[in-house]
Structure 1
Amino acid sequence: MEKLSFLDLAKRLLTEQKRPLSSEEIWDLARQLGYDAQVGSRGKTPVRTLGARLYIDMRDNPASPFIKTGSRPVRFFLKNMPVPFELPLLQELPLDAKKGAEKRPVARGNFLEKDLYPLLSYFASLHLRVYTRTIRLSRTDNKDYGEWFHPDMVGCYFPMEEWQTDVYELNSTLGNTAVRFYSFELKRELNFANLRETFFQAVSNSSWANEGYLVAARISDDEEFISELGRLSATFGIGIIELNPNEPDASSIIFPAARTETLDWDVLNKMATINQDFHDFIKRVKTDIQSREIRKEWYDQIFSSEELQDLFR
C-alpha cells in the first residue's frame, strides 16, 4: 500500500475535489475514501497535525503548493489549480522574519498574558508532543523567590506514547526513561524595551529543565531586534516561540531551544518544595510513568483551534 505524508494526502484530496477544504474536511474525506490508512504514524490528533503541517509548509517552504482562503474555518487550496469561482481572501502565509522575508502576522486585539496560556498548551501539545501544567505564583509559599524562580508553565514529553512497548521497556530497564521536561516563560510581547529582563528571567526559570522557551504573542520584527534575539538564543540555549491568537496553527518556533540531557535536581526539588502546582506536576508525571497511562485530564486542557480563536474574538 502506498504511504502518504499529511502533505501528500492534502494535495491528493485537493486535486481530486477541486475546491478549498479545511483540515477537518480533508481528514473526513480521507476517512471516507480510506486514504487515512495510508498515513503512517499520525498520532492521536491527526486533524491538528494535518492543519499544522499545512501551515508550516506554507510558512517555511517557498515552493509550497498550498495557499489558504477565508477564515473560520480557514480552507486550503493549490496554487496551480484553475478554479471556476472567486476565492475570498486568497493568500499565502508570510515567511518567517528571520529568513529575511515579509513581516510576520501581528497578533490583533487586546488580551492579557494569562489569556495566552491555552494557546501555549495547544502549541506545546501539537508541535512538541508535550503535556503542560500552568504554575501559579499564588501557590508559591515563599514569595521571595517569585517569578524569577519558577516559569509560567512547565511540560513533560512521554516517549511511551510514540515508542514501541519493547523499546520503551528496554530503555527503562537500562535506567533511562527518555522523559523530557520543558520550561515556558510567557509574555504578551517582546521588544527592545523588555528584552533583557524577560530573556534572563527565562534563563533563570529554565535552569532545571531539558529545554527552556521564552514565549510571546507579539514579537518586534525590527531586523536588529531579531538579530539580537537570535544571538541571545544561541548563546544561552533558550528557544523562542511566537504565538498567533488570531490563527493558532500559524504559531511557530522562531529559534529552537538547545537541549540538555541532565536535569538540575536541586533546583527541581526546591521548586517542588515551594510551589504546590509544581509538586503536583512532578507527582503526576511520576505516577503516569509508573502506570504507563497518561491521565490527560489532569494536565492543562487542550482546546481546538476554533475554540481558541473564539477566546480572542
Structure 2
Amino acid sequence: MTYTFLKLAEEVLEEAKKRENIQALSHVEIWEKAEKYGIQNKCSSSGKTPWQSICAQIYVDMKDNAKTIFAKIGTRPVRFALKKYVENGVKITDIEQKIKQPKTIFSERDLHPLLTKFVYSNSHFHCYAKTIYHETSAKHKIGRNHWLHPDLMAVYFPFDSYQTGTLDIIKSFYESKMKLFSFEMKKEITSSTLREYYFQAVSNSSWANEGYLVALKFDQDDDFREEMQRLNNSFGIGFIQLDAMNVEQSSVLIPAKIHEQIDWDFLDRLIEENPDVKNFVDSINGDVLLQKVKNKNEYDEIFDNSKMEKWIKDKGIE
C-alpha cells in the first residue's frame, strides 16, 4: 500500500503527541517534525515543496471524506490535529491557547550568539562579530536614524589565516585582505515581510564588503525563494538561515554581492552616531597594528557547544 502524505501527517501528529505532547501542527511544522523523527523518506514524492502537498491532501481529505481523521485548528497559521484527540475531551480552544502562549518568547538579539558562532566557524566568513545596540546612538529628530544601524558588524582578519611571510608580500603589493560584514537579524521572514526586511538590510548593510539578512525561519515555498533571488540580483544583500539544532550547519541560502570598496562615508556616520561602532572600529585598528586579536572580549563571545546548547534551551529558541 502506498505511503501517502496523509499517512505521514497522521504518523507525525501521533508521534508529536506521544513524544512532545504537541497536539496540533501547521503543514510546514508537520514536515519539519517528519524530518526530526526521521520518517520523511517514507513518502516517495520527489517534489520540492512536500509541505504544500501535505497541506493540499489534508484539505481535500477534510472536504471530501466524511470519515476524515483530521481537524483544523485556528488561523494564521492554520494547524491540524487528529480529530480523535479533539473529540476525546480536548477542546479546540484549549489547543489554540497552548499554541498562542509559548513557554518562552525569545528576542532577535537572543539569536546573535548563534550568528556569531556560525560566522566564526564558517570558512567563508571566519570573522569576529560585534552586536550594535541601536539604543546607544546619539538622539536626533525622529526618523533621522531610521534603518541606519545593522544588528551586527563583523571583521575578517587575514592574519588569522595567512602566514607572516604571506602577510608581508600582501603589504608589498598594497593589498588588504581584511573584510567587513554587516548583518540584519530577524526571527522569521514571511512573504508579507520579506521586502520590508530586505530593504531595511539594504539601507543599513550595503556599506560593507558583504551585507546579509539573517533569520531563523523563512517561508518555505518556491515563490518566496524566487523573490529572495530577484532582490539579491538587484541589490546584492545575501540571506543566511540559522539552524538552532546545529548552529555550525546554518546556511548561506544566497551569497551576498561582494563590494571591493567599503562605503567609508556611511561607516564614518555610523562611528559618529553610535559608540558601539566606534569601539568596534577602534578594536580593529588596535588588532591590525599588533597583527593579532589582542582581546577577543572586545568582540561578541563565541560560545562553545555546551554553552550554546544551554543558551538555546534557556531562551526557548527552536
- What is the match of residue 311 of structure 2? 311
> What TM-score do you get using the length of structure 2 for normalisation?
0.63
Residue of structure 2 aligned with 1:125, choices 89, 101, 120 = 120
Shift of the 284–308 alpha-carbon distance from structure 1 to 2, 3 Å rule, reads same
RMSD: 2.3
The aligned length equals 217
Residue of structure 1 aligned with 2:111, choices 101, 104, 116 = 116
Give the C-alpha shift of residue 207 in structure 1. Answer: 2.4
Distance, in Å, in 2 between the alignment partners of 1:254 and 1:245 is 16
Query: What does the per-residue CA deviation read over 1:45-99, in whole Å, with 9 as the maximum and x for residues that have no partner?
Result: xxxxxxxxxxxxxxxxxxxxxxxxxxxxxxxxxxxxxxxxxxx966899xxxxx9
Higher Rg: 2
Unaligned runs of 5+ in 2: 1-35, 42-46, 52-101, 314-318
3-state SS in 2 of match to 1:209:
coil
- What is the match of residue 154 of structure 2? 155
Shift of the 145–249 alpha-carbon distance from structure 1 to 2, 3 Å rule, reads same
The residue identity in structure 1 corresponding to 2:135 is S
Q: How does 1:146-185 map to 2 (within 5 A)?
A: 146-185=145-184
3-state SS in 1 of match to 2:153:
strand
The residue identity in structure 2 corresponding to 1:309 is E
Distance, in Å, in 2 between the alignment partners of 1:299 and 1:145 is 27
- What is the match of residue 231 of structure 1? 230
Query: What does the per-residue CA deviation read over 1:190-211, in whole Å, with 9 as the maximum and x for residues that have no partner?
Result: 1112111110010111122000
Distance, in Å, in 2 between the alignment partners of 1:311 and 1:178 is 33
Shift of the 305–145 alpha-carbon distance from structure 1 to 2, 3 Å rule, reads farther
Unaligned runs of 5+ in 1: 1-87, 94-98
Distance, in Å, in 1 between the alignment partners of 2:197 and 2:108 is 13
Tell me if 1:240 matches 2:188.
no
Residue of structure 2 aligned with 1:139, choices 120, 136, 140 = 136
- What is the match of residue 298 of structure 2? 298
Distance, in Å, in 1 between the alignment partners of 2:146 and 2:248 is 29
Residue of structure 1 aligned with 2:48, choices 100, 103, 113 = 100
The residue identity in structure 2 corresponding to 1:154 is M
Distance, in Å, in 2 between the alignment partners of 1:279 and 1:173 is 29
> What TM-score do you get using the length of structure 1 for normalisation?
0.64
3-state SS in 2 of match to 1:311:
helix
> Which has the higher mean CA deviation after the structures are superposed, 226-235 or 261-270?
226-235
